Structure 1
Amino acid sequence: MKYLFFIISIIFLGCANKININEFTPINAPKSKFLPSKNEILYKPQILITNFSGSYSNYAKDFLKITLSNIKSIKLLNRQFKSLKEEIKLSEIAKSNNSNLDQADFLIEGKIIEITKKRIYHPSQRFKDKKGRIYYTKAYYEHTVCVKGEISITKLPENIIYQTLPFYKCEYETTSSYYFDYKPLIIETIKSAIYNLNDKLKKIFAKKGYIFEIRKKDNDIIIKTTLNSNFGAKTDENVDIFTIKKIKIPFSNDYKKEILKIGEGKIIKVTNEYSWILVKKHLQTIKIGDFVKMNYKHSFWDIFE
């Protein structure tokens, strides 16, 4: 009952703090020097799984496909890997022509490094209750499987390792019998290990939502962005706010672009076209053309899922 009261209290607290967007006044905000093109706004990185090696790799590859297909900010290519040379060439042609040739922007390769199995016998235990009655627990076997592996993400056409994600997971079952078919448990452990990469993959491929309107009320700021429900955005999700700056390269006349995090916010409204975000903190002026990305940190509400 106390938990119900706790939840209801939080719901009412949330309602009390609900933000009325119409109470905020649009401001004449400065514009970024790096305004996005239409293609950049609509861009979804195209991912191709190349290979998964090691024991039970066919299961691991299927679980990785399922994980990636549930990430709305990417497009998982449903075709066979050609060769690294051909994939690089296809990516270069698509980039130079600004066209979509079903090219991969990222290649993902995985491997199962090690699978270990362990069996532990737990003998019957004798214990006595307060009345002096004696009881015996049942003897049982504990069967444990641990899976170790990694996935590697390569960026094209540069052909550089963009990210490597290791995974490790153990699962166990108990039986009264010494004999045990480990295969189902191995498959289940691989499944859990791959699915546990979901948040990391979502963060790596998080969609950029470009800011195209800024409003203010007293000291509060809200921003309207291109991040929308079609890319997986949800109300109450936390976002990071970024800007792009031109940085001079030391001992050179050349410049480079650098992405800097300048703030944080929370999505207060989302549709299939845009989102409104309440700025929680910012280190410098937010400009039109700056962008946000969901940070996928675990929140309080995860305990109810």
Structure 2
Amino acid sequence: MRAVRFHEHGGPDQLRVGDIDRPDPGADEVLVEVDGAGVNPVDTYIREGATEPFTLPMIPGIDVAGTAAVVGQDVTDIDVGDPVYGTGIGKNHYGGYAEFVAVPDDRLVTLPSNVDMVAAGAAGVVSVTAWRALVDHANLQATDVCLIHGGSGGVGHAAVQIAATSGARVITTANPSYHDELYELGADTVLDYARDDLASAVQAAGGGGVDVVLDHRLDEYLQFDATVANVGCRIIGIGENETGAGFDRSSETRRKDLQLTMMTMFNTPDLRVPLRKIAYLLSEGDVEIQLAETYELEEAAAAQRRVIEDSFFGKVVLTP
């Protein structure tokens, strides 16, 4: 089979396409014939060597969707021929940037037949992160006002749709060129993140403040989040706080009884639970993964450069 691999850590040019043996799935694994493999920032961190070491050479890619080609003997809920998708699949040295990948069955679920398989290949990380943040950690309610920073990003645009489906009032920020798309996805208010009066605009749109914040840049927005928060606001951080920034006005912050949770998708107790929820929303049309561009395996380096260097709406995906 054809697969993208890197033999040592470094820049995107380390990614090479070659022919290798098709993996044999273990008893608890499913061999997936890949239709789509999302390109995520974490894929670039693994390639750079910034995360825990993996066996080299390695096939990157932690998201995948495709058809179950071979099913291990201990797998009970997936059959050969089933459409499937999953995330967190970077076991040992196998990832989704390939024609086939062996995926542990605890990271994979079946998909309804009406779901676009290429888009589903880019759904895992962003949709599970958004679900865990808003539903599991923030306990988002229909009566809440929810602020989502960066609504045009991968997690952001999934979060806008999940929050809208819950019935919450959704405020998000983005470059003005993406505002129309975000309204179409269900946002109630879309604001230019660069406007000088952004805090006042968020508070006005929320009727005084917000109840839930999804923040991908805590080092930039942590005090901002506290300023626009209602009493009891739940702030969920999914990004790095590289500067170690904290609250500038601690007394104001304490008066609001804020809850701050920093999370990663990789701590999900059972990935199949949110994956099944998202599969249902995908089939009902309540969540639609927007694809900025698709790339072939030979273009994996260009796809990763796009993810780390460019601004775009939605997701980038490889299509073996």
Q: Which has the higher strand share?
A: 1
Q: Which has the higher helix share?
A: 2
Give the structure-1-normalised TM-score: 0.28
Whose radius of gyration is greater, 1 or 2?
1
Give the structure-2-normalised TM-score: 0.27
